[in-house]
Amino acid sequence: MSDAPRILLIGSDGQVGWELRRTLAPVGQVIAASLAGEHGPAIDLVDAGSVRRVFNEVAPDAVVNAAAYTAVDKAESDPEQAQAINGDALHLIGELAATYRIPVLHYSTDFVFSGQTERPYREDDAPQPLSVYGQTKLDGEQALLASGADALVLRTAWVYGVRGRNFLLTMLNLFRERTELRIVDDQIGTPTWSRMLAEVTALILHRVFTGDLEMERIRGLYHVTSSGATSWFGFAEAIRDLSGNPCALTPIPTSDYPAPARRPAYSVLDTRKFRDTFGLLLPDWRQSLALCLADLKG
Ligand SMILES: NC(=O)C1=CN([C@@H]2O[C@H](COP(=O)(O)OP(=O)(O)OC[C@H]3O[C@@H](n4cnc5c(N)ncnc54)[C@H](OP(=O)(O)O)[C@@H]3O)[C@@H](O)[C@H]2O)C=CC1
Ligand SMILES: Cc1cn([C@H]2C[C@H](O)[C@@H](COP(=O)(O)OP(=O)(O)O[C@H]3O[C@@H](C)C(=O)[C@@H](O)[C@H]3O)O2)c(=O)[nH]c1=O
């Protein structure tokens, strides 16, 4: 095990981080850093000293950053903290990864786009965030890509899974409490399983470690989601039907569901660059949802 590459996983307690702790295990020695420091070193992305210290002590061969400020509505009234975690910390992680000459994998979001389009967004489409969360994530991805580090930024969307705060678990909880729910039907995107993201991350990192993929050639920005698209209402309907719940669902416009943060009306991501570069398949969102629900049933 001592010869295994050392992977510093930041944010190992989040929904994607929790999956990564498992899928990265066959790829290298995972050093699972998190705010609480429960399974490895404590790290606080707001505290530059703690980030530098963890990099120094761990001396990683690669970094995967799954930590973020993801409370989209809360970020509107807490922009400094969101910027510190989603933006400023990536300037530092980029600087450290460039200094140590190690690859860094990071995640960003469909919320960097305004949603004023009718075709899936490509990596070279101009971002125009509508929210503090989207703006701070954009700053983070741009800082990392400009840092000189061998960085891969995987932009994804509508992430759900068996753990953490996500739309799937919110719906399953609400189905137990309510007989009717009103769900927005005019925001279109692609639900993406956290495990699928963790698995493609592990497959890529493995090929980087074996020399099969050269970071200098593949570094950059990629869109990675499941295939297909739906609205939050469509996603809720699929969750209800696949889980066998009787809850009545009513489609509503976004204007009937007031929230502090504006969200893009259409944020489907074009994943062609990712599929062509890595030769990986991205399953249909319904297929992944069925597998995830089967996991939840146990
Ligand atoms: N969730 C989604 O729908 C989407 C997510 N993404 C991106 O994917 C990535 C993973 O997201 P996801 O797993 O869903 O997010 P989660 O919110 O589930 O996990 C984020 C993790 O970051 C940790 N964290 C928060 N603040 C700090 C800090 N100051 N220092 C260290 N760790 C901190 C959180 O800890 P704690 O819980 O203790 O605060 C949490 O464990 C993020 O980059 C996100 O922007 C992209 C598109 C969609
Ligand atoms: C609970 C609920 C939500 N909604 C709507 C509100 C919102 O428009 C949509 C989704 O709400 P949520 O708060 O679960 O998700 P939201 O915070 O919008 O999700 C986003 O999170 C960040 C982190 C991302 O990066 C994005 O890709 C995206 O996944 O569903 C309803 O219409 N009815 C309801 O009962």
pLDDT tens track for 70-85? 999 999 999 999 999 9
Q: Does residue 138 belong to any structural domain of this protein?
A: yes
Q: Is the CB of 16 under 6 A from ligand 1?
A: yes
Handedness of CA 140, 143, 149, 154 (dihedral sign): positive
Q: Whole-number mean pLDDT of the chain?
A: 96
Taking the CA of residue 165 as reference, the ligand 1 atom at the shortest distance is: 18
Q: Is 181 in the pocket of ligand 2 (CB under 6 A)?
A: yes
Give the span between the Cα atoms of 11 and 69, in whole angstroms. Answer: 10
pLDDT of residue 298: 79
What mean pLDDT do residues 103-118 have? Answer: 96
Which pLDDT belongs to residue 249? 97
Mean pLDDT value across residues 144-173: 97
Measured over the CA atoms of residue 106, residue 26, residue 60 and residue 102, the dihedral's sign is negative
- Which helix (DSSP H) or strand (DSSP E) does residue 251 occupy? strand 248-252
Strand 151-156 with 29-33, pairing: unpaired
Q: Is the CB of 169 under 6 A from ligand 2?
A: no
Ligand 2, atom 3: nearest CA belongs to which residue?
A: 183
The 10s digit of each residue's pLDDT in 232-269 is 999 999 999 999 988 999 999 999 999 999 999 999 99
Residues 92 and 106: their CA atoms lie apart, in Å, by: 13
151-156 and 104-109: which strand pairing? parallel
Among 174, 168, 276, smallest CA distance to 223 is for 276
Ligand 1 contacts CB of residue 85 (under 6 A): yes
The Cα-based distances of 28 to 21, 54, 89, 106 in angstroms read 10, 18, 24, 17
Long-range CB contacts for residues 39-45, cutoff 8 Å, separation at least 24: 39/12, 39/13, 40/9, 40/12, 43/10, 43/67, 45/10, 45/84, 45/85, 45/89
Does residue 131 sit within a domain?
yes
Is the confidence at residue 2, as pLDDT, over 80?
A: no
Radius of gyration of the chain (CA): 19
Residue 211: is its pLDDT beyond 80? yes
Residue 216 forms part of a structural domain: yes
| 49 in any annotated domain | yes
Q: Would you say residue 98 lies in a domain?
A: yes
**Secondary structure class of 48 (helix, strand, coil):** helix
For residue 238, is it within any domain? Answer: no
Across the range 182-204, mean pLDDT stands at 98
Give per-residue pLDDT as tens, 19-65.
999 999 999 999 999 999 999 999 999 999 999 999 999 999 999 99
Question: Is ipTM over 0.95?
Answer: yes
Instruction: Render pLDDT for 94-110 as a digit per residue (tens, 0 to 9).
Output: 999 999 999 999 999 99
pLDDT surpassing 90 at residue 1: no
Supply the residue whose CA is at minimum distance from atom 46 of ligand 1: 109
Q: How far apart are CA 108 and CA 48, in angstroms?
A: 21
Query: Stretch 203-229: mean pLDDT, rounded?
Result: 97
Cα(298)–Cα(281) distance, integer angstroms: 26
Domain carrying residue 45: 6-160+192-225+268-282
Asked whether residue 172 is domain-assigned, the answer is: no
Q: What is the 3-state secondary structure (H, E, C) of 142-159?
A: HHHHHCCCCEEEEEECCE
Q: What's the distance, Cα to Cα, between the start and end of the chain in Å?
A: 32
Cα–Cα distance measured from residue 53 to residue 269, given in angstroms and rounded to the nearest whole number? 36
Nearest CA to ligand 1 atom 16: 14
Total of domains in the chain? 1
* CATH number for 123: 3.40.50.720
Q: Which residues contact 142 (CB under 8 A, 6 or more apart)?
A: none
Using an 8 Å Cβ cutoff, are 266 and 168 in contact? no
Residue 125's Cβ-count burial label (10 Å; 0-12, 13-18, 19+) is: middle
Residue 208 located in a structural domain: yes
Question: Using 50, 70 and 90 to split pLDDT, how confident is the model at 221?
Answer: very high
